[in-house]
Amino acid sequence: MIKKWHVAVALSLMSGLGLRLASRPGQPEPLTTRRADVRYAATPTLFIPGWGGGAITYNGMLRWFARHGYGHKVVTIRVDWAGRRHFSGKWDPEATNPLIQVLFDHSLTRDYQPQVQWITAILRDLYRQYGVRQYNLVGHSWGGSAAVNSLVLHGPAADIPRLNRLVLLGAPVDEGTARHPVDATFERLRAARHQLQANAQAQLFNVYGTLPGRYTDGSVPVKQVTALRQIVADSAVRYHEQHVAGLGHGRLHSARQMYRLVAQLLWVN
């Protein structure tokens, strides 16, 4: 699984100024150009960081999308330590591929169960307050794991939008090990997999990287990612896997080639 202590050490060594800069979300940018190869819609795309992630996780990707005509950030949603959601920015209901950056004040959680609840609550907010009926989501690492759990366990609820496209970037699903072979969270997913029917025809893109000569991205083994096959097998969800050779875990959200790939999966293919 993810080597959380590596991240914790790195965070502790960052200066106060550097940490503030890393946590500062980028400003919304208008969509000034439109591309002939892109499908534009009012469907928002949420961007969920992983364990220890912050604004820096997606700032570069969101800027690149706006400047290359794919979509543009309109709202930031910050979840505070008490789980309250704070919206900033202006919701844009126009068909310009609106992007929503999600930030968690408490990003160093012991597991991703709090994120499951926070993501589900955000989706309810979007449904009730903004009339959103369909959404896309990009989730890195545990952010993607939490999104999958929200989809399977809470996706059928009547007050939650239906999934259009989900892009997972190095998201571990089954974290069983030789010493602890049964992952209780994965077993809950397996037991509830029939609930995917509520999101029939959604597309799920499971993207994973590998380092040279290794079957891991340095933090998440491939087998923990591809275990998702067991959840989506024979379901109505259209499932795709994408292997990106040579990229480590952190580069799955920051490499320029990943910007292009995520854009293709969301709005071109």
Counting every residue written for the chain, the total comes to: 269
Based on the number of CB atoms within 10 Å of its own CB, is 242 exposed (0-12), middle (13-18) or buried (19 or more)?
Answer: middle
Q: Residue 70's closest CA among 94, 44, 39?
A: 39
Asked if residue 127 has pLDDT above 50, the reply is yes
- List Cβ neighbours of 84 (8 Å cut-off, separation of 6 or more): none
Residue 22 binned pLDDT confidence (cut-offs 50, 70, 90): low
Residue 28 binned pLDDT confidence (cut-offs 50, 70, 90): confident
Single pTM value for the model: 0.92
Span 170-224, pLDDT tens digits: 999 999 988 889 999 999 999 999 999 999 999 999 999 999 999 999 999 999 9
Residue 23 binned pLDDT confidence (cut-offs 50, 70, 90): low
Better pLDDT: 119 or 8: 119
Asked if residue 95 has pLDDT above 90, the reply is no
At 179 the pLDDT is 87
At 91 the pLDDT is 86
Better pLDDT: 24 or 239: 239
* Spans of all domains in the chain: 4-268
Residue with tokens 């499932």: 239
Asked if residue 5 has pLDDT above 70, the reply is no
C-alpha distances (whole Å) from 244 to each of 39, 128, 206 are: 24, 37, 11
As a whole-number percent, the residues of the chain with pLDDT over 70 amount to 91
Domain 4-268 sits in which CATH superfamily?
Alpha/Beta hydrolase fold, catalytic domain (3.40.50.1820)
* E-state strands within the chain: 45-48, 72-79, 85-89, 98-104, 134-140, 162-169, 203-210, 238-245
